[in-house]
Structure 1
């Protein structure tokens, strides 16, 4: 996996001005030269596939950025090859802000954090979403699959990552041979009559409900 190919940042004047103000131009160029790469390495793959969450940044056609949290079980984001990531798109609140931006052509930025050990990796690229992706059936409960064509991978300083220990993974992550709980907000008065016809919250049976 991976080569020493690089696709460093072409720093714009605003970035250069701050680098010069704080005398970081040399280290910024050194990071560009030695740490920024375009192919996913074996170390990158091990780090990414051990994570159970990622922060996804996209930009709408109006230029407004948004950032969302995506979670799953460890390995829910897969390295397909040295230039491609794939991840499931689970049921959310139905707004499709991030995935809609991707469908409209937004580039993406992903931030992976190890909250127990402090590591961070950033991935940038272009993305697509597909409800007929051949990997769709390998993630129980996935609505679509997002694939990221990676253009840049680079580590991020982890010194300010607060130390957290895992208490419990979300019970809402779809898992094989298990009924996924219904979030109680979907049964709130303001929401219940606006849900999609196929939403499990419309089932009057006794399904587990928790507030999220």
Structure 2
């Protein structure tokens, strides 16, 4: 087996990308990306810790839980979770982040990359009330790149297909899984 260690060796394995694929990455949010994000109830965020390890974390809410403040800025509230704060700590150490926005039933994905900052401004927090609950902080992202991904991965996985929904009974509850993992690591 040969280890690929250079861009040149990698490029020899693949055809050149189509010019449209190369040019679809833009430096702001345009009308279609804005419309998609406003309808998205789910995003996956990627951050990097001090040691250089990537962390990927799901975020969800009502469609539009990630707000488009302008064509160069997104924001979302950090609502209470498990309080590990992995992503938030990572953003303090390294503000670069990536986001994948998804809408159930739609194969395309919007990818955004940018630099994030954490905020506790009263006026900004007030924009993110969820019911009677106000967030502790808001993550603002200065958008550096945006692109639409083609739907191949979603189609191959049949992610939105009712015929491919899995009966959860093969897997114990999350609580049971964590209890077993903690017990086995002692």
TM > 0.5 fold call? yes
Equivalent residue, structure 2, for 1:143: 136
1:60 aligns with 2:49: yes
Aligned residue among 32, 38, 41 for 2:22: 32
> Which deviations, in whole Å up to 9, do the C-alpha atoms of 1:88-112 show, x marking residues without a partner?
1101111100011112233000001
RMSD, aligned α-carbons: 2.4
Q: Is the partner of 2:35 in helix, strand or coil? A: helix
Change (3 A) 1:67 1:15: farther
Aligned residue among 50, 61, 85 for 1:72: 61
Please identify, of 76-85 and 14-23, the stretch whose mean Cα deviation from structure 2 is larger.
14-23
TM-score after normalising by structure 2: 0.75
In 1, the alpha carbon distance for the partners of 2:72 and 2:115 equals: 11
In 2, the alpha carbon distance for the partners of 1:127 and 1:156 equals: 22
TM-score after normalising by structure 1: 0.66
1:111 aligns with 2:100: yes
Q: CA shift at 1:30, angstroms?
A: 4.0
In 1, the alpha carbon distance for the partners of 2:113 and 2:36 equals: 16
Equivalent residue, structure 1, for 2:166: none
| Conservation of the 8 A alpha-carbon contact between 1:60 and 1:106 | no
Q: Which sections of structure 2, spanning at least 5 residues, go unmatched?
A: 163-174, 176-186
Higher percent of residues as helix: 2
How many pairs were matched up? Answer: 154
In 2, the alpha carbon distance for the partners of 1:71 and 1:95 equals: 17
Higher relative contact order, structure no. (Cα contacts within 8 Å, ≥ 6 residues apart): 2
In 2, the alpha carbon distance for the partners of 1:73 and 1:110 equals: 17
